[in-house]
Amino acid sequence: MDEALSLAPANGAARVTPRLRRRAAAATVYAVVGANATVIVWLWVHGGNLDVPTTGGLLTSIGRITGLLAAYLALLQVILLARLPALERAVGLDRLTVWHRWNGHACIDLVVAHVVFTVWGYALMDKLPLGKEISTMLGGGVYPGMITATIGTAMLLAVVATSLVIVRRRLSYEWWYAVHLLAYGGIALSWFHEIPTGNELVLDHAAATYWRALYVATIAILVTYRLALPLLQLARHRLRVAEVVEESPSVVSLRLTGRRLDRLGAEPGQFFLWRFLDRRRIWSAHPFSLSAAPDGRSLRITVKALGDHSARLCGIRPGTRVLAEGPFGVFTESARRRRTKVLLLAGGIGITPIRALVERMRGDVVVAYRALDEADLIFKDELDALAARSGARVLYVVGDHRGAGARLLSPEHLRELVPDVAERDVFLCGPPAMTDALDRNLRGAGVPRRHIHLERFALT
């Protein structure tokens, strides 16, 4: 049978591509989010917030709707953090990351708007200067719940501050993660400000019931996916570190064994969130891709010492129990778009998911592995053996990116290495800066954007 036909549906039916599934899933998410936002706005209008005769009343009404929408986006942020596998597989980590970032921006902007409009409006209605109105609100007697609201707002602002790039680079992952837990505290405190004492909900029992349902549903999702399912998976699969292999002075591979690992449903190219249950590592979980195709008996990950946590993995002991959440990711062979030709392009430690993909990828496969030095190449013997067995072609692109090396993997160089690169699906994984540059170079070499599949390997 012709190879192109072997990748098409056997019954001749139209193939529902992963891209179409992701678009349909995204449209469904947008519809659900939009429907709830519409209900919130309708309840606000139904509460008489458009019938305001004074400027102060108008400003406080705007303050109410911005506060309600900020609370709604905060709940959505918790759901995005809950790591729902079905949502992640349907939409993709890249899109979820974008949603998380912009939803966070919108949430904090609405929180600030809520504070400004509310204080301004009440100051006009009470005929008080802004400073006096603020002290009256925080006094606790006239406006109950304001102290908890202020603390919650401060917590959310702390999370935003630590997310700024210039600050994030100065924090270890552990500190950054600990500060992000404040988001949960801020959202919890918003409950006491919004539900028991908020004017909008105290007087409208239907609206209060609706908001209680939103909070309860969010808590249920959080507890299920962040606590119950990971613990169930720990008990079911009993993952342990079976072997630690030094691939290079700064890179180690961990082979993990357990029970019924085939039921995890992992595919080459996917990743898990790994938590190693010993005293030094139990407090943080990090994402690492599989560096070998899962065989149902063991899983392998490969880690480079890029930060405090990944550096400590070099000293992990065999027998250590492991809690794994996942699998996650759509960087798999199913992302291909019927093209039988594939280019797998890796940079640095981004070779790990590429190495796993090579093991199972069908068709005409070319692997291009970018490294600064020969000593930085890992899995070279494995890649050569896989290429000999499958007929894949492996290209090692080694050299500094400065000086003469600046030309490496430029659009022109890509066309020289792989003359038919524009006819291939391309799977690209590496450090973020390199991935962004190669994404541009691939498009410059004629590869359509829809045929470029990215995995940005940004781990600490």
Please name which of 221, 174, 228 lies closest in space to residue 76, comparing C-alpha atoms.
221
pTM over 0.75: yes
Q: Tell me how far apart the alpha carbons of residues 88 and 99 are, in angstroms, rounded to a whole number.
A: 12
Cβ atoms of 443 and 449 closer than 8 Å: yes
In order along its 460 residues, the chain shows pLDDT tens digits of 333 334 444 344 445 555 677 777 778 888 999 999 999 999 888 888 888 889 998 998 999 899 899 989 989 988 887 778 777 777 777 778 788 888 888 988 998 999 899 889 989 988 888 888 888 877 756 666 677 778 888 888 877 777 665 455 666 666 767 777 777 777 777 777 766 555 566 667 788 889 889 999 999 998 998 889 889 989 999 999 999 998 988 899 999 999 999 999 899 999 998 999 988 888 778 889 999 999 999 999 999 876 555 566 777 899 999 999 888 888 888 888 778 899 999 998 899 999 999 999 989 999 999 998 888 899 999 999 999 999 999 999 998 877 767 889 999 999 999 999 999 999 999 988 889 999 999 999 999 998 999 876 543 3
| Residue 278 buriedness (CB in 10 A; 0-12 / 13-18 / 19+) | middle
CA angle 275, 178, 168 (to 5 degrees): 105
Distance of CA 259 to the CA centre of its chain: 28
Walk across the sheet containing 364-371 and list its strands: 393-398, 364-371, 341-347, 425-430, 452-456
Alpha helices in 8-81 (DSSP H): 18-46, 55-81
DSSP string, 124-180: HHHT--HHHHHHHHHTSSSSTTHHHHHHHHHHHHHHHHHHSHHHHTTS-HHHHHHHH
Detail the DSSP E strand segments found in 284-357.
286-289, 298-304, 322-328, 341-347
pLDDT at position 140 is 59
